[in-house]
């Protein structure tokens, strides 16, 4: 594997140089079109992670309008134009990444380099994707692109790490060409772009079966892996860049603390997969679940002015807990700053088998969603 990757680096350099020269007219035309249709800046840059978990700046052509709440340009769906969709479907937005390949930060084929904010949420198995350079395309991309769910995508990345060879790379290149020509898998079904990665959704205890999905609300029935009903969970959008989480336990369920912690973990992961900055969990006053939520980084919130930021108001039959989903961005809950993640457990948590404890670290969201 080491010998092949040494030769692969030489092929990457030659291929990137040739592509930059041959495609320079296309590069110039696309740059002009981006300026005409989307304005300035022409390029989208973002900190991404590659081999050895080294952070580098990824370059792409911009595909979205600048965020402008005054004009209703907030979500990906609102900001992604028809021209931007065309750039993504044709993969022309990736042309500037040839510079990253030339610099040795990327390869033509490898696991897709992802934002730094995802780093704390990988399992040890998933972190193995960083044993090699990130790529423009990879096994996950030719297996469905953004339609492949995150856990499956990471499994494919690790599979590539273990099986990389010239023959595998050539097959991936041919499949990439076919997929680009067909414009397959650019986004998940019903979404403008792919969901964020909020942490693994795999569980040995629970299964979330989606019951319904609208623009504002998603609902799941929750059962144990043995088939027993656990409850019902819904996540809905709210004001103030927040989502609201509700969980109603099944009346016949005997949900012990381990099950309830797992519900919190999986529901919070799903909340982080949205574009929200905060999560608001609504539960009955005096609920034991408030202690679990506090363990994992939520803060009890009963101040009317704080709740109003998230489109909520105090109610005698409801208690509220709020969590900053990406606390390292410096977002505040009320007047107090979110505690740094090194001092508390926040949001999506990685379960440790030895002690049933949880831990988490967080980083901040990007301006433009792009894979």
Regarding whether 170 and 287 lie in a shared domain, the answer is no
Regarding whether 141 and 231 lie in a shared domain, the answer is no
Residue 238 confidence (pLDDT): 87
Regarding whether 170 and 43 lie in a shared domain, the answer is yes
Total count of domains within the chain = 2
Regarding whether 148 and 239 lie in a shared domain, the answer is no
Regarding whether 218 and 104 lie in a shared domain, the answer is no
pLDDT digit string, tens, across residues 64-85: 988 877 887 777 778 888 999 9
Regarding whether 221 and 168 lie in a shared domain, the answer is no
Q: Which of 12-16, 145-149, 174-178, 315-319 has the lowest mean pLDDT?
A: 145-149
Regarding whether 157 and 40 lie in a shared domain, the answer is yes
Q: Is the pTM of this model over 0.85?
A: no
What is the average pLDDT across 16-26? 96
Mean pLDDT of the chain: 84
Residue 367: pLDDT band with limits 50, 70, 90 = very low
Regarding whether 166 and 113 lie in a shared domain, the answer is yes
Residue 99 located in a structural domain: yes
What are the phi and psi torsion angles at 233 (to 5°)?
A: -125, 140
Residue 187 located in a structural domain: no
Regarding whether 150 and 115 lie in a shared domain, the answer is yes
Range of the domain at 19: 2-182
Above 90 in pLDDT, residue 120?
A: no
Regarding whether 265 and 173 lie in a shared domain, the answer is no
Regarding whether 178 and 141 lie in a shared domain, the answer is yes
Residue 200 located in a structural domain: no
pLDDT digit string, tens, across residues 97-119: 999 999 999 999 999 999 998 99
Above 50 in pLDDT, residue 205?
A: yes
Residue 288 located in a structural domain: yes
Regarding whether 133 and 9 lie in a shared domain, the answer is yes
Residue 336 located in a structural domain: yes
């Amino acid at each position: 594997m080491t010998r092949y990757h040494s030769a692969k680096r030489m092929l990457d350099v030659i291929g990137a140089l040739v592509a930059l020269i041959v495609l320079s007219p296309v590069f110039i035309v696309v740059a002009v079109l981006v300026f005409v249709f989307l304005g300035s800046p022409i390029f989208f840059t973002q900190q991404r992670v590659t081999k050895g978990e080294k952070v580098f700046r990824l370059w792409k052509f911009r595909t979205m309008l600048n965020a402008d709440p005054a004009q209703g340009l907030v979500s990906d769906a609102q900001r992604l134009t028809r021209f931007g969709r065309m750039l993504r479907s044709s993969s022309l937005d990736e042309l500037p990444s040839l510079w990253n390949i030339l610099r040795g930060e990327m390869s033509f084929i490898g696991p897709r380099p992802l934002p730094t904010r995802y780093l704390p949420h990988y399992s040890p198995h998933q972190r193995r994707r960083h044993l090699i350079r990130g790529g423009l395309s990879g096994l996950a991309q030719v297996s469905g692109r953004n339609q492949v769910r995150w856990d499956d995508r990471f499994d494919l990345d690790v599979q590539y790490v273990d099986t990389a060879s010239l023959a595998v790379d050539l097959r991936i290149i041919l499949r990439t060409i076919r997929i680009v020509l067909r414009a397959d898998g650019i986004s998940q079904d019903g979404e403008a772009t792919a969901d964020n990665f909020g942490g693994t959704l795999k569980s040995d205890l629970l299964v979330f079966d989606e019951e319904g999905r609208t623009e504002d609300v998603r609902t799941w029935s929750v059962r144990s892996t043995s088939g027993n009903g656990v409850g019902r969970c819904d996540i809905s959008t709210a004001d103030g860049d927040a989502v609201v989480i509700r969980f109603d336990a099944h009346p016949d369920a005997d949900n012990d603390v381990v099950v309830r912690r797992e519900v919190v973990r999986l529901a919070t992961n799903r909340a982080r997969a949205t574009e929200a900055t905060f999560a608001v969990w609504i539960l009955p006053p005096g609920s034991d679940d408030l202690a679990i939520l506090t363990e994992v980084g939520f803060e009890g919130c009963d101040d009317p002015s704080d709740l109003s930021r998230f489109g909520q108001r105090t109610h005698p039959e409801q208690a509220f807990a709020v969590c900053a989903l990406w606390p390292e961005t410096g977002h505040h809950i009320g007047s107090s700053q979110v505690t740094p993640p090194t001092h508390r457990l926040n949001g999506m948590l990685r379960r440790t088998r030895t002690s049933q404890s949880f831990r988490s670290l967080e980083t901040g969201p990007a301006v433009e969603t792009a894979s």
